[in-house]
Structure 1
Amino acid sequence: MTMLSLTTGFLLWMCCAIHKASAGAACEDPPLVEFGKIVSGVKSGYEENDRVQYTCNPGYALSGSEWVTCHGKVWMPGPPQCLDVRCENPPEILNGHITSTQKEKYLPGAKVHYECEINSQIMGVNYVICSDGHWTQVPSCRDVTCEPPPEIAGGKVQGIKKPRYLPGETAHYQCWQDFQMTGASTVTCQNGTWTELPQCKVNVLPGEGGKCGPPPDIENGDILSFPLPEYDQGQSVKYKCASFYILEGPEQITCTDGQWTNPPICLAACTASEEDMDRNNIELRWRGERKLYSTSGDFIEFDCKVGYVQDPASSPFRVQCMDGTLEYPRCKRGRNCILSEAEMKRNNIKLRWSRKRSNTYRSKETILFTCLFSYQEVSNPDDFEAQCKDGVINYPRCEWYFG
């Protein structure tokens, strides 16, 4: 063997040894990351202490170290994760709507603006911002209309009161006979409240020796005793209200220094009008209830008629009678439900009985289900009396009975 061949063989061995040593210490390609990528340090082969850098796609946040290092055939400290920090649809708000163009997903930092309906006022900022997969605090729209103007002792509101008053609308008071008004007779609805109410004071001159004349009359009420032409200091009389009226204030007034103390007022009852309920597509919640008259302060509960669902902009369905006025809630027409034979088969159920010739049910209609033969109930028993809810039926489920 010649010196040349020995030299050539040695060099080949050295190259192979170096390659093997290098190959033994190298790492495999760094792992891929879902919703992310490697942006720095990419090579065709990786040696000890080589580093690569990861970054995430827009809308995703890095969890873990952005740098990993080849150490003893392993990437340390391990690849990071890319977490979805995009936001779902922004929430709806009562008495308001979104003005920004809506998207399927929102990137962090995205801003969505709101606007209140007419006669409502925004509370807080008028936008939300997507942050870490969640929206910042949602604004609200405050109703700036006013309830009916309240009654005052010794006087009343002129004309018929409305259930609600718009901002800027006014109401006018007048005092009963023998009463004198202090303060402005006109009040204005401002930001959901009335400006300062006037007062009506008894307008009679003191009698001799502190005596009082006849007690003042009140609307829709009377005193319980026959009125005298004159009352001594400290004498009292009691009032009562007519049927369906509620007495508010002191039941009894007293002659003090020749003047009567302020009398009570009689608050009117409310009538749940069939015509108004039909106009708003509502009915009394309790079907057996026939009470159309409610005294002031009482609550009446309503519900949507069959075929209708609650209007998102509606006032509450539990309504308080306010001195003869009711603010009716409102329902809109709901979507019909189509009974699915495939869903019934999948859930091993059938109709308990059906006299309908159609598989169409109106919103709020009840659909009675039962299990197929040899199957037993899995769902709650109440679920077998399902109700069409604005186009959706929640089907109960049964399973094979082995017993």
Structure 2
Amino acid sequence: MRIRYLGFALLTWFPGVLHAQSAAQPCSAPSLRGGFFAPKQETYSPETKLTYTCDNGRKPTVKGWWATSTCQNGKWSHEPQCIDEEACIPPEIPNAKYTENQNGWYENGHTIRITCDQGYEPKDRDVTARCITGTWSSVPVCERSIQACGEPPKIPHAVIIHQEYQEVFAVDSEVQYECEDGYTVEEADGNKSIFCIAGSWTEGPTCRTGPGTGHSGSTVGGTDGTQPGGGSSTTSGFNDRDSRPLPTTIDHCGAHPNVPNGIVVQVERKFLKYQCNAFYTQVGSDTVTCSSNGKWSQLPICKEAFCVLDLAVYKSSGFKLSGVEYVKEGETKQLQCIWVDWWRIFRCTNGRLTYTQCCHANDIYYGRCR
């Protein structure tokens, strides 16, 4: 009798046991409009797969003209749906996020806007895609930022803490090291952290043994503090490294430096990013950092990248326009001659202006203008 009551009590006190045993629920047959599926039955046991396809003018919400779905804990792995063939299924964009529709698809004409993950940036600044008759136009690409860093360097007798492994780190990221037992960070290093600045990691700490630990590497030379050939011992490279200025926050350097014909387009905690004005090309890195000695790193140069077209020089050529025009390096500009549908083409190459004779519009279209 006691055993029977005990069994009832266990069932009452541990309902989670029964729930775990019955967690794998069967699935009801899906409601599929505009298509059909197989096998056809009222209920499906867990892990059962069905296949479906759609009528003409419609398609599944996944790639292909047919699709499979699996019964998992009372629900289908994706709800079988047949949508208009001009609608779009979600695009696959690595290293990016965008707002996903709850119904799992997008109507024709819908536009999505993506955000790249940290450490990545949109190629050619393209961040939108539009659904046009069933396909996405100009799907954006998130490429690794030139300001991002790869995995942090491996330091002997140290491990990175409070950070999961990843291959790409966004600019201004910080990782912290912890030394192995029996090792400590040198006082000269001070900081246990390194920072990602303009695509490179700052110099990391050095883990060395403390006094009396018995590990090698704490000193260089004899045990009495002298070199084998005489003289006091020093740690190789310490003084050189200590004398080098380290990167720091930009507020340590004061006002932003001026780059002629350039502007600051991005301000971060540890760097500035410049961009040259139109008709100028950049020479050198576009990123400027601040050092602990209060000095900025080398500034970029914005070099002229255009040709000046003074129409007064070509007055005898019969142009309708007058004045001065500018042609960007590597580009062309068409200027109309005095005759209708006749044009002269100017090209800027290496700062030098070249031009064609006056050509008819048809000759220009077919590439016959020389």
Larger radius of gyration: 1
Q: What band does the TM-score fall into relative to the shorter chain? A: under 0.3
TM-score by length of 2: 0.26
TM-score by length of 1: 0.24
